[in-house]
C-alpha cells in the first residue's frame, strides 16, 4: 500500500508511523535555543518529542543532502540519553535514513565524524554543562556545523504539525559504530604530534583531568597518556546521576585542590559533553576561555597563522582581555553568547580563532567546532614547548576587570525568554548603565540552555561591580 503523507507523519491504512504530538503539550516559545532543543526530561522533552524531532530532522536533512547518507548519533552519560537516542533514532529511520550510533562520545566527535564521512547530518544527545535531570538534542549538517536557524524552524514546523512530510518507500536501519570514535581520537593525536614535531609532546608533564562523570571519560585520559603525560583523573567514570554535579568546568574547586596537592603542571576541567574546557595553572588559579584565546591567539599571531590578527569573542569576554589584545596590535570582535554566533562571525571574517569565556574555543586550523579535548591538548603542548609555566604565561597576558555573574532562576519559560518586555526591569538596567558610564558595562540576558536570567556586571572596582550586580539581581527577582 502506498504511504500517504499527512500533517503529522505517515499513514499506512489507519496506523501512523510517527504518532501525532499534541501541540498543547509544547511550549509557546521556540523549541530551539542557542544550543538545540534543551530542557528538563519528562516535561516537554521526552521520548515522544525525540521521535518527532528525529523524523522531521530526517526530512530536513534529506532535503539538504545532495546524495543519500547516514546520520551520526552520539550521547553523553545522562540516564535519559539512551531513551532519547533510541526514540530519535526511530524517527530518523522512519524518515528513511540510516543511523550510525557511536554511543558515549563528546559532541565535537559527532561534528568531526559527520564532516569527515559521507553522513548527511549528525545528532548529539546532551545538555552540556546542565544538571543531570536536563537533556538536549543538537543537530548538525553534513559539514559538521550546527543547523542554521532556517532549518531549525523547518524542523519545529513539522513537530508542531505545520508541515507535510514526503513519502518514503523504505525504512532506515541503525548500526552500532563505536569504533569510529577511535578515528576521531587518532586525528587529535596526529594534530598535536605534527604541531610539535615529536611522538610524545607531553612527556614529563603531570596533568590532572576533571572529566565531570561525562563524555570526556571516553577519550581524554587515553589521549593525554598516549602523548606522554602522567595523568591523574577526577570524576572519571560515566555516571548519569552525577554528571556536572560539583565538578567539571562549572565547579573548579576539586581540580584546583588536586593540582596544588599533587604539584601538577596544570589541570583541565571538561563539561558533560566535552565541547569546552577550562584550565587551572600550576598555582591552582583558573585559566578561563579569555586567557586561552589570548595565549593561543598570540602564538598563532607570532607564527603568522592568524589572519588580520583577529580574535572572535562574545559579549561576556572581559574588558581587560579586549584591551590587552588590541594593545598588541590585534583586532577584537564581539558576538552574542553562543558558539554558533562565534562560528558564523569567524566564517564571515575569515578568522581562524574564536570562542567564549566559558571555555568553548574554536580553532579552524584544527577543527570545525568547539572541542574541549583539542583545546586542552594544544594548550598543554604550547606550555610544554614554551619554556614557561602556565602560571607565568597567565601572569604575562592581561589583568582582568572585576566581573560578577549572577544567575536568577526563572522557571516560567515564556516570561524568561520575553524578559526584555518588562518596562520596570529595562528602567533598572538603564539607570545602572547611566550611573556607571565608562567605568564598566552591564549584560542581562536569558540563558539559551537553562531556566536562568544571567546578570553580568563588569566595573573598574569590586565595590562598583558588587553594588550594581545586587541591584539588578533584585530587580529581576521583583519583576520576573
Residues near 66 by Cβ (< 8 Å), separated by ≥ 6? none
Sign of the C-alpha dihedral computed for residues 249, 255, 260 and 263 taken in this order = negative
SS3 232: strand
- Chain centroid to CA 473: 26
At 149, list the grid cell.
Answer: 536557524
The span from the CA of 294 to the CA of 101, in Å, is: 37
Residue 316, Cα to own-chain centre: how many angstroms? 15
193-210 burial code (b ≥16 CB/10 A, e <16): bebbebeebbeebbbbbb
List of residues 6+ apart from 456 with CB closer than 8 A: 316, 403, 404, 405, 406, 442, 443, 444
CB burial of 343-367 (b: ≥16 within 10 Å; e: otherwise) equals bbbbeeeebbbbbbbbbbbbbbebb
What is the rounded (10 degree) CA torsion for 310, 332, 300, 292?
-140
| Residue listed under C-alpha cell 581540580 | 255
From residue 454, how far is each of 163, 244, 272, 322 by CA, in Å?
35, 19, 21, 21
CA distance 445 to 291: 23
How is residue 170 annotated by DSSP? S
Return the closest-CA partner of residue 107 out of 125, 84, 80, 119: 125
**In 3D, which of 273, 222, 264 has the Cα closest to residue 243?**
273
The Cα 330–Cα 302 span in angstroms is 11
Give the neighbor-by-neighbor strand order of the sheet with 277-280: 230-234, 206-210, 266-270, 277-280, 286-287
Catalytic residue at 422? Answer: no
Catalytic residue among 128, 358, 369, 397: 128
Give the count of beta carbons closer than 10 Å to the beta carbon of residue 476.
24
Helix (H, G, I), strand (E, B) or coil at 421: helix
Q: Which residues of 67-78 are buried (b: 16+ CB within 10 A; e: fewer)?
A: eebbbbbbbbbb
Catalytic residues: 128
Amino acid at each position: 500500500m502506498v504511504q500517504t503523507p499527512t500533517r503529522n507523519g505517515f499513514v499506512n491504512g489507519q496506523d501512523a508511523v510517527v504518532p501525532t504530538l499534541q501541540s498543547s503539550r509544547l511550549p509557546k516559545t521556540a523549541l530551539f535555543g542557542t544550543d538545540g532543543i534543551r530542557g528538563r526530561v519528562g516535561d516537554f522533552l521526552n521520548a515522544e518529542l525525540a521521535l518527532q524531532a528525529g523524523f522531521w530532522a530526517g526530512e530536513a536533512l534529506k532535503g539538504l543532502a545532495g546524495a543519500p547518507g547516514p546520520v551520526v548519533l552520539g550521547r553523553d552519560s545522562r540516564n535519559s540519553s539512551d531513551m532519547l537516542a533510541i526514540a530519535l533514532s526511530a524517527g530518523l529511520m522512519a524518515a528513511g535514513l540510516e543511523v550510525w550510533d557511536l554511543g558515549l562520545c563528546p559532541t565535537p566527535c559527532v561534528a568531526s565524524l559527520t564532516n569527515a564521512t559521507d553522513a548527511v547530518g549528525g545528532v548529539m544527545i546532551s545538555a552540556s554543562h546542565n544538571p543531570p535531570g536536563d537533556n538536549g538534542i543538537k543537530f548538525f549538517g553534513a559539514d559538521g556545523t550546527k543547523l542554521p536557524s532556517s532549518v531549525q524552524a523547518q524542523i519545529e514546523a513539522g513537530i508542531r504539525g505545520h508541515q507535510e512530510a514526503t513519502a518514503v518507500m523504505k525504512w532506515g536501519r541503525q548500526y552500532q559504530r563505536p569504533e569510529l570514535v577511535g578515528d576521531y581520537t587518532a586525528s587529535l593525536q596526529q594534530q598535536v604530534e605534527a604541531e610539535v614535531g615529536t611522538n610524545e609532546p607531553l612527556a614529563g608533564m603531570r596533568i590532572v583531568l576533571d572529566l565531570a562523570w561525562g563524555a570526556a571519560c571516553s577519550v581524554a585520559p587515553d589521549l593525554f597518556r598516549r602523548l606522554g603525560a602522567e595523568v591523574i583523573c577526577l570524576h572519571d567514570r560515566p555516571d548519569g546521576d552525577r554528571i556536572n554535579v560539583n565538578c567539571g568546568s562549572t565547579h573548579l574547586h576539586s581540580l584546583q585542590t588536586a593540582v596544588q596537592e599533587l604539584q601538577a603542571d596544570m589541570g583541565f576541567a571538561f563539561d558533560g559533553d566535552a565541547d569546552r574546557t577550562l584550565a587551572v595553572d600550576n598555582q591552582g588559579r583558573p585559566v578561563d576561555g579569555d586567557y586561552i584565546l589570548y595565549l593561543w591567539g598570540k602564538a598563532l599571531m607570532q607564527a603568522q597563522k592568524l589572519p588580520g590578527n583577529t580574535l572572535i569573542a562574545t559579549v561576556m569576554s572581559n574588558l581587560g582581555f579586549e584591551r590587552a589584545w588590541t594593545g598588541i596590535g590585534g583586532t577584537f570582535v564581539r558576538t552574542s553568547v553562543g558558539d554558533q554566533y562565534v562560528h558564523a562571525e569567524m566564517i564571515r571574517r575569515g578568522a581562524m580563532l574564536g570562542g567564549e569565556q566559558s571555555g568553548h574555543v574554536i580553532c579552524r586550523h584544527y577543527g570545525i567546532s568547539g572541542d574541549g579535548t583539542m583545546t586542552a591538548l594544544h594548550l598543554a603542548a604550547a606550555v610544554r614547548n614554551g619554556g614557561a609555566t602556565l602560571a607565568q604565561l597567565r601572569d604575562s597576558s592581561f589583568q582582568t576587570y572585576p566581573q560578577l555573574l549572577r544567575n536568577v532562576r526563572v522557571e516560567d519559560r515564556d516570561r524568561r525568554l520575553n524578559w526584555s518586555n518588562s518596562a520596570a526591569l529595562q528602567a533598572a538596567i538603564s539607570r545602572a548603565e547611566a550611573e556607571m558610564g565608562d567605568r564598566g558595562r552591564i549584560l542581562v540576558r536569558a540563558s539559551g540552555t537553562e531556566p536562568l536570567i544571567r546578570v553580568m556586571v563588569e566595573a573598574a572596582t569590586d565595590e562598583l561591580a558588587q553594588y550594581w550586580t545586587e541591584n539588578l539581581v533584585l530587580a529581576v527577582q521583583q519583576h520576573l
